[in-house]
């Protein structure tokens, strides 16, 4: 058992120490799992809804999908637009152009025959993202700033999600690959040294103009990117903006406070947060999720750190924690060490040349995780990349 000593100051400086043991709470399995609805109705595009069930943290790591349900968008005149399931628990509509003058709801019938529906909602048209700019932080990372505006009578509550894409390299560059058919190494075809990785936001990001005279946000602080490997070779951000009703905004604020502001005695107690989806046969059955009806605006920006960031960059930019254990490549010689390459797990890097004869007598090699950048991303350059 590992023992950690912690101290508390009591009264006039009395220090008390003790061991802190790992505590795993005895959480009983719930008698009933609840439906979780994740997504919104997009009146000008494809709608994607994910259905799952609540679960005990002692039994599972991921939420079990709610499969084989019948899911549809329905307007206030009774017109239905079905969603198809693929993969299990994920339901997607065709690209739609719904009448903005009508109200819409999501209708769900599970494989067990239980019916659910969200409240009817009006269509909210999201204004475009006017600007995405950045400024240098004191630590020489970047802060991304957003600008948008809409009509004063339009929705004044906004939520954002984003995807970060950045270029990186593996710890070692491989120009050779093992040919199992010939039991030898040959020049590599496509490079596995330079890749691109995309990470999606997980935090709940919201803002509003309810207290402003104009329905506009200027230089809204959206995201801080600290000095890291993300800012070494190239960085791009895709921001998705959704305007929403105050009720939807309030739901996400409650969820944010319940999930992100936990850990101290002054934080709110966690609890069930219900939205606007209801079980039709039992109004008391809890259902988690809020289904809004709104369009989405997108904007992308690109940063070239080599030309747009000041020099010298912080040393942390050049250190990739993912390759912290990749210290050096080892040498392997032919034909003695070919069985080790054939066994897999090792990737040849650079040829070892006999300086007298000019012959290739071996290769340096390292593990797949240190050599193949595809373990963390893709070596296919994104179409939007400069």
DSSP character at residue 29: P
**CA–CA gap between residue 244 and residue 205 (Å, rounded):** 13
* 39 domain-assigned: yes
Residues 58 and 191 in one domain: no
Which one of 291, 326, 355 terminates a domain?
291
Residues 191 and 327 in one domain: yes
CA neighbours closer than 13 Å in the CB half-sphere of residue 374: 9
Which one of 291, 324, 357 terminates a domain?
291
Residues 77 and 169 in one domain: no
The answer to whether the CB of 126 falls within 8 A of the CB of 295 is yes
Of 8-22, 257-271, 337-351, 352-366, the one with minimum mean pLDDT is 8-22
Residues 47 and 188 in one domain: no
Looking at residue 26, its pLDDT comes to 58
* 42 domain-assigned: yes
The answer to whether the CB of 102 falls within 8 A of the CB of 77 is yes
The answer to whether the CB of 43 falls within 8 A of the CB of 16 is no
Which one of 291, 321, 348 terminates a domain?
291
What confidence category does residue 262 fall into, taking pLDDT thresholds of 50, 70 and 90? low
The answer to whether the CB of 156 falls within 8 A of the CB of 214 is no
- Mean pLDDT of the region 310-327: 93
Of 12-16, 32-36, 115-119, 268-272, the one with minimum mean pLDDT is 12-16
Looking at residue 244, its pLDDT comes to 97
Three-state SS for 10?
Answer: strand
Residues 224 and 367 in one domain: yes
Instruction: Measure the N-to-C terminal CA separation of the chain; round to a whole number of Å.
Output: 52
* 210 domain-assigned: yes
Judged by phi (left if over 0) then psi (alpha if -120 to 50, else beta), residue 11 lies in left
Q: Give residue-wise pLDDT tens across range 168-213.
A: 999 999 999 999 888 889 999 999 999 999 999 999 999 999 999 9
- Give 60-128 as a DSSP string: -SSPPB--S-EEEEEETTS-EEEEEE-STTEEEPPPEE--TTSEEEEEEE-TT--EEEEPPEE-BPPPP
* 220 domain-assigned: yes
* 18 domain-assigned: no
Residues 136 and 220 in one domain: yes
Run of H or E including 176: strand 176-179
Residues 193 and 110 in one domain: no
pLDDT higher than threshold 70 for residue 246: yes
pLDDT higher than threshold 50 for residue 14: no
Question: Cβ neighbours of residue 46 under 8 Å, at least 6 residues apart?
Answer: 92, 93, 94, 95, 96
Residues 220 and 108 in one domain: no
Question: 3-state SS string over 177-223?
Answer: EEECCCCEEEECCCCCCEEEEEEECCCCEEEECCCCCCCEEEEEEEE
Dihedral of alpha carbons 137, 141, 304, 380, sign: negative
Number of structural domains (the chain) is: 2
Pick 219 or 15 by higher pLDDT: 219
Which residue, chain included where needed, has tokens 């290769």? Answer: 363
Which residue, chain included where needed, has tokens 């406070």? Answer: 257
Number of H helices, E strands in the chain: 4, 26
DSSP character at residue 324: T
Residues 328 and 238 in one domain: yes
DSSP character at residue 243: E
Task: Report which of 334, 363, 348, 296 is spatially closest to residue 41, judged by C-alpha positions.
Answer: 296
The answer to whether the CB of 359 falls within 8 A of the CB of 335 is no
Residues 140 and 158 in one domain: yes
What CATH number should be reported for the domain holding residue 101?
A: 2.60.40
* 345 domain-assigned: yes
* 23 domain-assigned: no
What confidence category does residue 263 fall into, taking pLDDT thresholds of 50, 70 and 90? low
pLDDT higher than threshold 50 for residue 4: no
Of 6-10, 12-16, 68-72, 328-332, the one with minimum mean pLDDT is 6-10
Here the tokens at position 345 are 């797990």
Identify the domain containing residue 363 by its residue range: 129-242+305-375
Residues 99 and 214 in one domain: no
pLDDT higher than threshold 70 for residue 264: no
Task: Report which of 122, 106, 120 is spatially closest to residue 50, judged by C-alpha positions.
Answer: 106
The answer to whether the CB of 132 falls within 8 A of the CB of 145 is yes
* 155 domain-assigned: yes
Residues 282 and 334 in one domain: no
Which residue, chain included where needed, has tokens 């979780």? Answer: 36
pLDDT higher than threshold 80 for residue 23: no
**CA–CA gap between residue 165 and residue 203 (Å, rounded):** 17
CA–CA distances in Å: residue 213 to residues 196, 210, 220, 308, 319: 42, 8, 16, 35, 46
């Amino acid at each position: 058992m590992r023992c950690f000593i912690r101290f508390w100051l009591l009264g006039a400086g009395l220090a008390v120490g003790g061991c802190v043991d790992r505590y795993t709470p005895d959480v009983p399995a719930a008698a009933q799992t609840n439906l979780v609805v994740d997504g919104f109705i997009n009146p000008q595009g494809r709608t994607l809804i994910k259905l799952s069930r609540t679960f005990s943290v002692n039994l599972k790591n991921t939420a079990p999908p709610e499969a084989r349900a019948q899911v549809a968008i329905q307007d206030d005149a009774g017109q239905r637009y079905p969603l198809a399931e693929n993969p299990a628990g994920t339901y997607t509509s065709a690209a739609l152009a719904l009448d903005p003058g009508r109200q819409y709801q999501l209708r769900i019938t599970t494989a067990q025959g239980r019916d659910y529906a969200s409240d009817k909602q009006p269509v909210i048209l999201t204004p475009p993202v006017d600007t995405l700019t950045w400024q240098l932080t004191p630590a020489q990372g970047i802060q991304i700033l957003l600008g948008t505006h809409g009509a004063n009578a339009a929705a004044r509550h906004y939520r954002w999600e984003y995807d970060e894409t950045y270029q990186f390299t593996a710890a070692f560059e491989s120009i050779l690959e093992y040919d199992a058919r010939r039991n030898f190494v040959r020049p590599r075809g496509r490079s596995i040294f330079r890749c691109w990785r995309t990470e999606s936001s997980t935090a709940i990001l919201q803002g509003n103009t309810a207290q402003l005279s104009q329905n506009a946000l200027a230089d809204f602080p959206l995201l801080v990117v600290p000095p890291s490997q993300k800012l070494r070779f190239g960085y791009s951000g895709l921001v998705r903006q959704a305007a929403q009703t105050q009720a939807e905004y309030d739901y996400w604020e409650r969820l944010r406070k319940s999930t992100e502001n936990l850990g101290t005695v002054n934080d709110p107690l966690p609890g069930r947060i219900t939205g606007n989806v209801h079980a039709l046969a039992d109004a008391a059955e809890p259902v988690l999720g809020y289904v809004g009806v709104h369009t989405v605006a997108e904007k992308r920006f690109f940063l070239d750190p080599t030309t747009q960031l000041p020099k010298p960059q912080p040393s942390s930019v050049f250190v990739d924690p993912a390759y912290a254990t990749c210290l050096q490549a080892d040498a392997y010689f032919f034909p003695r060490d070919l069985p080790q390459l054939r066994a897999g797990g090792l990737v040849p890097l650079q040829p070892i040349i006999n300086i007298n004869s000019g012959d290739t007598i071996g290769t340096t090699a390292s593990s797949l995780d240190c050599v193949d950048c595809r373990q963390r991303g893709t070596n296919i350059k994104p179409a939007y990349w400069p």
